[in-house]
Amino acid sequence: MDRRGFLRTAGALAAALPAAGCDGAAAPPLERLTIAAGGPDDGFRPIAEALAAHARDRWSIEARVVDATGPRESLELVTGGGAAVAFAPADLVAVARGGEPPFRGALPVLALANLYEDVVHAFTRVDVGVRELPRFAGRRLGTGSPGAELVTTRLLAAGRLTINANVQPIPLRVADAAEALAAGTVDAFVVSGAPPLAPILRVRERVRLRLLRLTDEVEQLRASWGGTYAERSMPMSVYDTPEGDVTVGVANLLVASAELPDAVARALTGLLFDARPALIAALPAARRIDPRTALATGPVPLHPGARRHYRETKPFA
């Protein structure tokens, strides 16, 4: 179904919805639900599948997850009519809304909820002998999943490093980055995820790991994009490293097109919280999905339908 067809169908069904939120007796807000997420190794995939399964059970509709190469393509699918909702980090969504590279034009995406926060993991091996980011000039660096390297690129710029100019980027997912560091095919990696990340814990048993020192870079990142990134700490106890250090956190959002009818957006927001037990079973980080923090979507405005859901459910009451 193309974008216009998708929105026509959603609009017609939305008109039949009652004023209540996610009511099991209400007519389903969509004939079918398509959720954009990365492939089987993508961090969002487990909760995308769980949300689709809950929609099938709750509304007796067709619901599926469509493969995307990463968050960038997920956002393009949402605004192109290929998916109703998608998962993406807030910094990338803000860039998409502004039409900045790598996007070719502004994408009209809005947030339904702040889900949980990912934290930057920047590691090297103890035997590499350096921790300061600028000293990795000329070295090989794992830069995170393809399409999700924005925070890495910004951290490198804060450390006076430029991808393809004075650092050799190797896009790798978390598990591959950890194994590459252990094998010596990269000298460090910068990836994002909700700690503790199992692949890093596994590699830690074989290789002595060390956190990169990011104090200056985090300060610069916050100064440039303060509303997008939060300063966080990575204690040495998390991965049994010689030192702890500061890092940054970035919110992961559930997003939809700005053109999605308000009633549909409201119902999908309600579905998210109704599905929370299933989401937690699929991904422990989903424990942090909380209606009281879901409204805090940083640089990305809430969809009017989502805003209506929060107003009606009164999460702070």
Residue by residue, pLDDT tens for the chain (317 residues) are: 555 555 544 544 444 444 444 444 467 889 999 999 988 778 899 999 999 999 999 999 999 999 998 899 999 999 999 999 999 999 999 999 999 988 999 999 999 999 999 999 999 999 999 999 999 999 999 988 776 678 988 998 998 887 777 888 898 889 999 999 999 999 999 999 888 899 999 999 999 999 999 999 999 999 998 889 999 999 999 999 999 999 999 999 999 999 999 999 999 999 999 999 999 999 999 999 999 999 999 999 999 999 999 999 988 87
Report pLDDT for 14: 46
Total residue length of the chain:
317
**Inter-CA distances, 173 with 43, 190, 194, 222, 291, Å:** 9, 10, 14, 25, 30
**CA 30 – CA 23 distance, rounded (Å):** 14
What does the domain layout of the chain look like in residue ranges? 3-115+253-313, 118-250
What H or E segment, with its residue span, contains residue 189?
Answer: strand 188-193
Domain 3-115+253-313: CATH superfamily is Periplasmic binding protein-like II (3.40.190.10)
Report pLDDT for 226: 80
Report pLDDT for 27: 76
Name the region of 77 (left: φ>0; alpha: ψ -120 to 50; beta: rest).
Answer: alpha
Report pLDDT for 5: 52
Report pLDDT for 41: 75
- Asked if the domains 3-115+253-313 and 118-250 are classified in one and the same CATH topology, the answer is yes
**CA 95 – CA 292 distance, rounded (Å):** 25
What H or E segment, with its residue span, contains residue 37?
Answer: strand 32-37
The residue with tokens 């450390």 is 159
Q: Which of 6, 23, 54 is nearest to 277 (CA)?
A: 54
CB atoms within 10 A of CB 205: 8
Name the region of 138 (left: φ>0; alpha: ψ -120 to 50; beta: rest).
Answer: left
Tell me yes or no: is domain 118-250 CATH 3.50.30.30: no
Report pLDDT for 316: 82
The overall longest dimension of the chain from CA atoms, in Å, is 64
CA angle in degrees (0–180, nearest 5) for 292-77-268? 35
Report pLDDT for 61: 97
